[in-house]
Amino acid sequence: MNYAIISSLLAVLVLGTPVIFADSEKIDFALSLEKTLGHLWALEQNLDDGNAELALIHATHPIAELYESIKPQLVVADPALDALVYEALLELQSRATTDVSRDEAQQEIDNTKELVALARYVVVGDAQSNDVNTKLVLIKMLLETSVAEYREAVADGIIKEMAEFQDGSAFVWRSQEIFKGIKTGIDSNATQEIDELYGNLWDAYDTTADPALVATLVNGITHEINEIPGVEDDKTDLLEYVENIRKLLQETKTEYEQGNVDLAQSLATKAYLDNYEFLEGPLKEMGKIELMEQVEIMLREELRGMIRDGEPSSAVNAKVDAILEKMDTIATIVPEFGTIAMLILAVAITSIIAITAKSRIQLRV
């Protein structure tokens, strides 16, 4: 990657005017960037520990999943920057590994961080990027995603899926980093409560606590954030995720039929990453593992792969319709989760009292 080109591009962008996007598009875009930074942090930890397998996973996620969700906005805002981001993420996947020196790997990681900052400026803009309410919304969204990852990773006090466990901890870390940057402007009582809850949350990770406890602690942070003046409670229930997926998949069909492949891919990715991931944990906890895995493969691999490979619209439509049928089944199941969740929540709240350690989590390897 040519650092001189990046520096020149930065100088031009700082003097230019950001492209205007809808607020919801900016938030979604910013969230993907924050997740990317989380993966970079996890990548650094695994490189330090010499864990090649997990390092590769975190180096691959940004290009394999997150890039598709930011590409449509990047292409519109600045095609040259889009090309640089794509090239950097590919190089990250191939060069930020244990096969090269730690310094060489860090150079690729730092390059990616620089491009993340450029992309944030171009699409989101300085004003909204630095807005406290925007940052609080991103904190809540990162924490919500962390709960979904943790639910996939841990069962019976054992880490079943290490990559997902590290995803969850990386998103907690990133949310806390954002909070550290804005806490001086927030009521001291609220910041104290949130800091204590973060400490308890890290303890829960450290002891591989029940997923319900992790969800309870995250809900506690979210509640404290919602109590801050000017912050809206944007909590989403499970059926809303179902409806979001239905809407996004219908839009995917329309855009793909019209030849808007990149947008169709982005919509399909949002259906999976921003919505279905939040249904996987509850479905698993209700014993619907086969259904959960079927839909996950259909959304994450099959549909996105068909769009990427340029398959006929009729085939893509048939796949979407098959997924929608599965979503109809899920829609009849998820309301039942509320009753089960309340029973688990009662146990989790009791468990909080037992948490006494205050040690900082170290990524498991």
Residue whose token pair is 């406890």: 213
Do the Cβ atoms of 172 and 146 come closer than 8 Å? Answer: yes
- pLDDT of 86 > 50? The answer is yes
Name the least confident of 8-17, 214-223, 273-282, 288-297. 8-17
Q: For residue range 162-177, list pLDDT tens digits in order.
A: 999 999 999 999 999 9
pLDDT given at position 186? 87
Q: Tell me the three state secondary structure of residue 159.
A: strand
Supply the mean pLDDT for the chain.
Answer: 85
Q: For residue range 315-332, list pLDDT tens digits in order.
A: 999 999 999 999 999 988
Read off the pLDDT band of 344 (50, 70, 90).
very low
Read off the pLDDT band of 236 (50, 70, 90).
low
Percent of the chain with pLDDT over 90: 60
What token pair was written down for 202?
A: 């890290």
Biggest distance spanned by C-alpha atoms of the chain: 58
Q: For residue range 9-29, list pLDDT tens digits in order.
A: 554 444 444 566 788 889 999
Assigned architecture for domain 238-340: Up-down Bundle (1.20)
CA angle 330, 332, 336 (to 5 degrees): 100
Read off the pLDDT band of 362 (50, 70, 90).
very low
pLDDT given at position 263? 87
- Mean pLDDT, residues 298-321 taken together: 93
Read off the pLDDT band of 287 (50, 70, 90).
confident
From-to residues of CATH 1.20.120 in the chain: 3-10+17-129, 132-226, 238-340
Name the least confident of 10-24, 56-70, 123-137, 159-173. 10-24
Read off the pLDDT band of 274 (50, 70, 90).
confident
- pLDDT of 57 > 90? The answer is yes
Q: Select the more confidently predicted residue: 343 or 85.
A: 85
Maximum mean pLDDT: which of 10-24, 86-100, 192-206? 192-206
pLDDT given at position 317? 95
- pLDDT of 262 > 90? The answer is no
Do the Cβ atoms of 154 and 211 come closer than 8 Å? Answer: yes
Residue whose token pair is 């688990």: 344
Name the least confident of 82-86, 141-145, 226-230, 306-310. 226-230
In order of 76, 79, 318, the CA distances from 83 in angstroms are: 12, 6, 32
Name the least confident of 21-25, 181-185, 249-253, 321-325. 21-25
Assigned architecture for domain 132-226: Up-down Bundle (1.20)
pLDDT given at position 9? 52
- pLDDT of 361 > 50? The answer is no
Pairing outcome for strands 158-159 and 154-155: antiparallel
- pLDDT of 101 > 70? The answer is yes
- pLDDT of 232 > 70? The answer is no
Assigned architecture for domain 3-10+17-129: Up-down Bundle (1.20)
For 78, phi and psi rounded to 5 degrees? Answer: -165, 100
Name the least confident of 95-109, 170-184, 224-238, 265-279. 224-238
Q: How far apart are CA 120 and CA 281, in angstroms?
A: 30
pLDDT given at position 337? 53
- pLDDT of 181 > 50? The answer is yes
- Mean pLDDT, residues 33-43 taken together: 97
Name the least confident of 11-25, 84-98, 131-145, 180-194. 11-25
For 155, phi and psi rounded to 5 degrees? Answer: -150, 135
